[in-house]
Amino acid sequence: MTAVTQEAGAPSGAALPPGMDAGEFAIVTEGLTKRFRGGQVAVDTLDLAVPRGSVFGFLGPNGSGKTTTIRMLLGLVAPTSGGYSVLGLPQAQALPKVGALVEGPAFYPYLSGVANLMRFDSADPTAPRASAKRRIAEALDRVGLSAAAGKRFRNYSLGMRQRLAIAAALLGPRELLILDEPTNGLDPQGTREVRALVKEIAAEGTTVFVSSHLLAEVEQMCTHAAIMRTGRLVAQGTIASLNGGLVTRIRVETPDAADAARVLGTLGLADVLTSDGAVTAELGGHAPERVNAALVGEGVAVRGLAVVRPSLEDVFVGLTGEGFDVDG
């Protein structure tokens, strides 16, 4: 464990899922804390476990400690206390196996994509010079930029710029890819491009650790997630397990709200609520099509029917009692 007071190795006290050891995780932190001058606590006793092979969403509003955590994992900032393990290796051995994009891409605007990557690669003392051209070509191909390799960076779209930055992080063989807000500021097309790329990289066996303040984006991209709030971990687990603590509801839009509520109650649906021309209830084990058939059979005019599944925002609100303020 890389720590303030301990030797490198696997954390001994981090909370891991039952029956699993640190070797099955790409990242493990134990009580990781960063306190800045003046007493501000950016990260507070963080215990994190990122399974190998996962797309792990590190989720929280701006200012919740995500980037500071990433900087500690990459050795850019020293923890105040606690420790961490990356790929189960001492930091000097782990970092060459880690690719990272932190706080946006920075390239020369008048150089081409391939020329930028050549300069980036030449600055890495561990990168073998003899294979530079091959590795750069492979990285560009991997992110779908081979056809635009000769185009100047200033002429790249935002999505292409992010993909070039990810290519820079993939110039060598990587077991772990850390991306800090990779879709921040992108238009819908650029967001889809990055999302698809992350899934492709993960499918090839690389663990991807993605920080984001966009809850819906994490739900679409990730297999696992951890939720941060003001420097502290609120929850972590698979996306399914995080959502599993909340109930799925059914929503019926109808002018016959009173009759619809009566039918839903008769069917045994719990927590029936009526408001603004709609009726909602906990779906439980009921099939939505049978609920719809029962409503129509009782003469209820159904204008719309939807199954409302809990989102990560619902999880955040349920755990903290607060809305998810991305500017917080």
Residue 322 lies in a domain: no
Q: Please indicate, yes or no, whether residues 146 and 266 belong to a single structural domain of this protein.
A: no
pLDDT for 218 equals 82
Q: Please indicate, yes or no, whether residues 148 and 200 belong to a single structural domain of this protein.
A: yes
Packing angle of the helix pair 132-142, 113-122 (nearest 10 deg): 130
Residue 284 sits in a domain of what CATH number?
A: 3.30.70
| Virtual torsion, Cα 319, 321, 325, 326, nearest 10 deg | 0
* 125 or 88, higher pLDDT: 88
Q: In the predicted model, what is the mean pLDDT of residues 50-60? A: 93
Q: Please indicate, yes or no, whether residues 162 and 269 belong to a single structural domain of this protein.
A: no
Residue 214 sits in a domain of what CATH number?
A: 3.40.50.300
What does the pLDDT look like over 170-209, one tens digit per residue? 888 889 999 988 887 778 888 888 888 889 889 989 999 9
What pairing do the DSSP bridges indicate for beta strands 224-229 and 270-275? unpaired
Q: Please indicate, yes or no, whether residues 229 and 253 belong to a single structural domain of this protein.
A: no
- Amino acid identity at 13: G
Residue 41 lies in a domain: yes
pLDDT for 245 equals 66
Label residue 261 by pLDDT band (50, 70, 90): very high
Picking from 203, 226, 244, the residue at the C-terminal end of a domain is: 244
Q: Please indicate, yes or no, whether residues 217 and 172 belong to a single structural domain of this protein.
A: yes
The DSSP H or E segment spanning 52 is none
Residue 142 lies in a domain: yes
Label residue 11 by pLDDT band (50, 70, 90): very low
pLDDT for 306 equals 92
Residue 210 lies in a domain: yes
Residue 293 lies in a domain: yes
Residue 320 lies in a domain: no
Q: Please indicate, yes or no, whether residues 284 and 222 belong to a single structural domain of this protein.
A: no
| Calpha distance 3→39 (Å, rounded) | 20
Residue 276 lies in a domain: yes
* 327 or 26, higher pLDDT: 26
**The pLDDT of residue 10 is above 50:** no
Q: Please indicate, yes or no, whether residues 272 and 287 belong to a single structural domain of this protein.
A: yes
* % of the chain with per-residue pLDDT over 90: 48
State whether residue 178 is helix, strand or coil: strand
For 57, the domain range is: 2-244
The DSSP H or E segment spanning 237 is strand 232-238
Domain count within the chain: 2
Altogether, the residues listed in the chain come to a count of 328
Q: Please indicate, yes or no, whether residues 273 and 207 belong to a single structural domain of this protein.
A: no
- Amino acid identity at 278: A
Q: In the predicted model, what is the mean pLDDT of residues 123-139? A: 88
Q: In the predicted model, what is the mean pLDDT of residues 152-164? A: 90
pLDDT for 6 equals 36
Q: Please indicate, yes or no, whether residues 256 and 233 belong to a single structural domain of this protein.
A: no
| Calpha distance 63→230 (Å, rounded) | 7
DSSP 102: -
Say if residues 52 and 23 touch (Cβ distance below 8 Å). Answer: no
Q: In the predicted model, what is the mean pLDDT of residues 37-52? A: 91
Label residue 21 by pLDDT band (50, 70, 90): low
Which range is least confidently modeled, 79-88, 124-133, 211-220? 211-220
Q: Please indicate, yes or no, whether residues 46 and 91 belong to a single structural domain of this protein.
A: yes
* 308 or 4, higher pLDDT: 308
Q: Please indicate, yes or no, whether residues 178 and 297 belong to a single structural domain of this protein.
A: no
Q: Please indicate, yes or no, whether residues 258 and 240 belong to a single structural domain of this protein.
A: no
Picking from 244, 278, 300, the residue at the C-terminal end of a domain is: 244
Q: In the predicted model, what is the mean pLDDT of residues 66-76? A: 92
DSSP 204: T
pLDDT for 117 equals 94
Q: What six digits make up the tokens of 327?
A: 């500017």
